[in-house]
Structure 1
Amino acid sequence: MKTRAVRLYGKKDLRLEDFELPAIREDEILVQVISDSICMSSYKAAILGPDHKRVPNDVDKNPVIIGHEMAGNIVQVGAKWQQQFQPGEKFALQPALNYKGSMDSPGYSYRYCGGAATYAILPQEVMELGCLLKYSGDSYFEASLAEPMSCIIGAFHASYHTDMGSYEHKMGIVADGKLAILAGAGPMGLGAIDYALHGDRRPGLIVVTDMDPARLARAQALFPPEETKKAGIDLHFVNTGNIKDPVKYLRDLAGGAGFDDVHVYAPVRALVEQADQILGRDGCLNFFAGPTDTAFSGPINYYNVHYNSAHVMGTTGGNTSDMIESLRLTEKKRIRPAVMVTHIGGLNSAAEATLKLPELPGGKKLIYTGIDMELTAIDDFAVKKEKNPHFARLAEICQQHKGLWNAEAEKYLLEHWQ
């Protein structure tokens, strides 16, 4: 079986190549990848190369396929798994394996398993750990986005709180409590807002901050007041760049007592300090955004840690349970992972998009591996209709879905794009 894939050879060295996959073994599964959304973690792996904890040291001789937010079809099943999986079934993948203490993971560590490929081979540990998940939704892209959504869901579940005099940790954000999402108008922040509004455990107040007016305007358009009122939640968007004393302003929004849960979605020292300063009693700060700087640090008020029971933690990735929750909420149309997506491209655009990810505007970049297509903003489809008439139809479809990528647009793309 021949595949076309983006492979990592070293620091900033990504190559789109055609090569032969070996025949699968009895404990492996061959899959066709249809969609793969690009994660900031893939950028970090591409920049760091073998210095990344998940990338092998010999990647220059044995390159790995990048991409881990993948979805597609099962093609061939090894004998060991034929009672559990069948060719033709749709799949999503939970890449955080944690197999026998190893950090190896699809999209970072394997020669033949990654999302930026037309075909890939899943190693036996993926199935052994229950990380190959069946999916019955309408689209492939929503299954790809189940992985970043699972990271968000994991962060909500990992927050913890206590009662005075008790050492028992009560897991999860405070129900009907006060939640702040800092730097929250980016793709992952939008997913967090969506989950906070429509998950099983919901806050009573959500305050979303950012300093980018365009991102805030898009976030407000995606989550209008009538939707938040229906959910019974008070939602505020705040541009902290326009406020002289943002800490006081945010604490006042929380009634002066501070927030029960604060999630930080950008690795900025001033932002982490601000998060610490707006925590209420027994508040939990989740540093969600992973930095590339190994010396990243900032002051924390340890008086509040001691006397106010302030909790500081961080999460990276979600577990399989979080992934399953993400898939099920998507299948029931309770959450809309599409709010994260702003750009669509083909496999030919994946390497450049990965290496330039921090510089690119907008939200999630979604790659369809079976096509060649320059990375294009959904908002630019109408502008490019003269270049390719298919853009005109894609623009029409997305306009019918509030400017969001959707299952109908995906179906049209897969059927008509070369």
Structure 2
Amino acid sequence: MKTKAVRLYGKGDLRLEEFELPALKEGEILARIVSDSICMSSYKAQSQGADHKRVPDNVADNPVMIGHEFCGEIVEVGSRWSSKFKSGDRFSIQPALNYKGSLDAPGYSYQYIGGDATYIIIPEEVMEMDCLLPYKGDAFFMGSLAEPMSCLVGAMHANYHIKQGTYIHNMGIVEGGSMAVLAGVGPMGLGLIDYTIHCDKRPARLVVTDIDKARLERAASIYTVEEAAANGVELTYVNTSESDDPVKTLMDLNKGAGFDDVFVMAPVKPVVEQGDALLGKDGCLNFFAGPSNTDFSASMNFYDVHYAAHHIVGTSGGNTDDMRESLEMMSRGEINPAAMITHIGGLDAVVETTINLPKIPGGKKLIYTGISMDLTAIADFEEKGKADPFFKELAVICDRNNGLWSTEAEQYLLKNAKNI
């Protein structure tokens, strides 16, 4: 079977190509990809080429498929797995295989599996590591966002607290406690808000900050104070640029006390230090944001580390259980990561989008691999719709869904967009 895929050959060398997949082996699975969300990690892989830890040294001669946040349907199952999987099953993949200690991962290391493709061959190690995950939801895009959502789920599970006089690490945030999310209305911050107010271990008080008024207003319109309250969470959005003393302002919202859990969503020194200043006794600061500067540092009050048991954790991904939790919550309609998505495109938009990803504003760039479409901001659908009825209808559908991508929008696009 032929596939069309974006392959990496070296630094800055991405190519959209059509080629033949090899014959399926008994331990492999043939699958069709429907959607892939472009991650900053793919940008890093293409910019580093063979210097990247997950990219093979011989990538120039044996190019790899890129993309690791994907969702699709199984087409054919090798005999070894026929009792567990069947044609038509929807799936997502946990790319961090950790197979025999290797860093190899779909989207970085393999010739025939990656999210930016029409068809792929799933190698047996994916199934052996139990990383081919069933997805029972209606929308493929949610399956694509299960991997980034799992990073947020993992971050919430990674926080910990220690009861005074013991040495037992009680994992997770303080249920019924206080939590602050700083620089928290970017795409990952929105996902964290969604998970926090809908998961089974919620804080009583959640304060979300940013300095961008428009982004705060958008967040507040998607995850409302009323919806949070219905789930037992007192949610407050704060524009810290409007305060002369942001720490005091936030402390006042928590009745003058420090917060149990603080998440820092941007690698900005003053934001990290603000997070440290907000911690209460036994407070845990989660530095979620991944800096690109290897020398990034910030100050921390070590008096409070000693006497107030302040501590810090950092997470850079979720495990397979975190991803399963994400997929299951999406399937049940408990979380909806659509707020992360700001742009839609086809397979022919992947090369340019990946290479220029840091320069493209907004949130997640969602690719539908079976179609041809320039990367387009959802906010631009209405303007493009003045000349194109296809975008006019997409704009109407998104407006019906509070300006967000949706199952309805996906189904319309898959039915009416130009095939690749």
Q: What TM-score do the two structures reach when normalised by structure 1? A: 0.97
**Counterparts of residues 352-363 of structure 1 (less than 5 Å):** 352-363=352-363
The alpha-carbon deviation at position 50 of structure 1 amounts to 2.3
Question: How much has 1:53 moved relative to structure 2?
Answer: 2.0
Inter-partner Cα distance in structure 1 for 2:347 and 2:44: 19
Rounded Cα–Cα distance in structure 1 between residues aligned with 2:106 and 2:4: 16
Measure, in 2, the Cα distance between the counterparts of 1:289 and 1:43: 16
> Quick one: distance in 1 between partners of 2:230 and 2:188?
23
| Counterpart for residue 230 of structure 1 | 230
Equivalence for 1:371: 371
- Runs of 4+ aligned residues of structure 1 deviating over 3 Å after TM superposition are none
Q: Is the 2:225–2:236 Cα contact (8 Å) retained in structure 1?
A: no
Task: Please state how far the C-alpha of 1:244 moved relative to its aligned partner.
Answer: 2.1
Alignment of 1:269-284 (within 5 A): 269-284=269-284
For residues 181 and 43 of structure 1, the distance between their equivalents in structure 2, rounded to whole angstroms, comes to: 26
Q: 2: CA distance between counterparts of 1:247 and 1:44?
A: 34
Q: Which residue of 1 aligns with 2:52?
A: 52
Q: How many residues in Structure 1 have an aligned counterpart in Structure 2?
A: 418
**In 1, are the aligned partners of 2:77 and 2:85 still within 8 Å (CA)?**
yes
Unaligned runs of 5+ in 1: none
1:382 is matched with which residue?
382
Structure 2 residue aligned with 1:333: 333
Looking at structure 2, the residues matched to 157 and 134 of structure 1 have their Cα atoms a distance apart, in angstroms, of: 22
CA pair 384-403 structure 1, distance change in 2 beyond 3 A = same
2:62: which partner in 1? 62
Contact 2:339 2:404 (8 Å CA) reproduced: yes
Moved more, 15-24 or 405-414: 15-24
Task: Quote the Cα distance in structure 2 between the aligned partners of 1:235 and 1:209.
Answer: 11
Q: Is the 8 A contact 1:177 1:205 kept in 2?
A: yes
Shift of 1:135: 1.3
Tell me by how many angstroms 1:245 deviates: 2.0
Q: Which moved more, 1:195-204 or 1:38-47?
A: 38-47
Does residue 24 (structure 1) correspond to residue 43 (structure 2)? The answer is: no
Deviations 1:36-94 (A, max 9, x none): 01112222222222222222222222221111110011011112111111111111111
Deviation at 1:383, TM superposition (A): 0.9
2:394 aligned residue: 394
Instruction: Supply the RMSD in Å over aligned alpha carbons.
Output: 1.3
Is there any run of 5+ residues in structure 2 with no aligned partner, and where? Answer: none
2-structure distance, mates of 1:256, 1:8: 53
Distance 1:254 1:397 in 2: 39
1:154 shift after superposition: 0.7
Q: CA deviation at 1:221?
A: 1.0
Q: Aligned in 2, Cα 1:47/1:253: closer, same or farther, shift over 3 Å? A: farther
Equivalent in the alignment of 1:198: 198
Matches within 5 A, 1:191-270: 191-270=191-270
Contact 1:304 1:310 in 2 (8 A): yes
**Could you tell me which residue of structure 1 aligns to residue 2 of structure 2?**
2
Secondary structure of 1:75's aligned partner: strand
Aligned counterparts of 2:38 and 2:175: Cα–Cα separation in 1:
32
Q: Which amino acid aligns with 1:332?
A: R
Question: Distance between the aligned counterparts of 2:206 and 2:357, measured in 1?
Answer: 28
Q: Distance between the aligned counterparts of 1:255 and 1:57, measured in 2?
A: 56
Does the 8 A contact of 1:44 with 1:292 survive in 2?
no
Matches of 1:49 and 1:271, distance apart in 2? 32
Letter of the 1:86 counterpart: K
Q: C-alpha distance in 1, partners of 2:247/2:7?
A: 45
* Superposition TM-score, scaled by structure 2 size: 0.96
The 3-state SS of whatever aligns with 1:96 is: coil
What letter matches 1:291 in structure 2?
P
**Paired residue secondary structure (1:305):** helix
Distance 1:301 1:30 in 2: 53
TM-fit CA distance, 1:316? 1.4
Contact 1:30-1:121 within 8 A present in 2 as well: yes
